[in-house]
Amino acid sequence: MVATGPAARLFSSTPLRRSEFENPFGPNSLAKVTEEEEMLRDAVRRFAEEVIQPRVESMDEAEKMDPEIIKGLFEQGLMGIETSEEHGGAAGSFTAAIIVIEELAKVDASVSVLCDVHNTLVDTVIRKYASKHLQDKYLPQLSESKLGSFCLSEPSSGSDAFAMKTSCRKSDDGKHWVLNGSKMWITNSAEAEFFIVFAQGDPSKGYKGISAFAVEKDMGVEIAKKEKKLGIRASSTCTVNFDEVKVPVENLIGEEGKGYKIAIEILNEGRVGIGAQMVGIAQGAFDKAVRYAYERKQFGKSVASFQGMQFQIAEAAVQIEAARNLVYNAARRKEEGRPFTKEAAMAKLYGSQIAESVSSLAIELCGGIGFTRESGIEKYYRDSKIGAIYEGTSNIQKQTIFKLVEGEMGLK
Q: Which of 250, 266, 258, 222 is nearest to 137 (CA)?
A: 250
In whole angstroms, what is the distance from residue 172 CA to residue 174 CA?
Answer: 5
**How many alpha carbons fall within 13 Å on the CB side of residue 96?**
21
Cα 163–chain centre separation: 23
In whole angstroms, what is the distance from residue 266 CA to residue 277 CA?
Answer: 17
Q: Provide the terminal-to-terminal Cα distance of the chain, rounded to the nearest Å.
A: 46
Residue 338: CB atoms within 10 A of its CB come to: 9
DSSP 14: P
Asked whether the beta carbons of 154 and 166 are under 8 A apart, the reply is yes
DSSP 230-255: SS-TTS-EEEEEEEEEEEEGGGEESS
Which H or E run contains 151?
Answer: strand 148-151
Which H or E run contains 360?
Answer: helix 341-371
Residue 88: CB atoms within 10 A of its CB come to: 18
Query: Under the phi-then-psi rule, with left for phi > 0, alpha for psi from -120 to 50, and beta for the rest, what region is 299?
Result: left
* Residue of 61, 63, 391, 406 with catalytic role: 391
In whole angstroms, what is the distance from residue 158 CA to residue 150 CA?
Answer: 14
Length of the chain: 412
Q: Determine whether 63 is an active site residue.
A: no
Q: Which of 199, 114, 96, 119 is nearest to 153 (CA)?
A: 199
In whole angstroms, what is the distance from residue 55 CA to residue 48 CA?
Answer: 10
Mind telling me the catalytic residues? 391
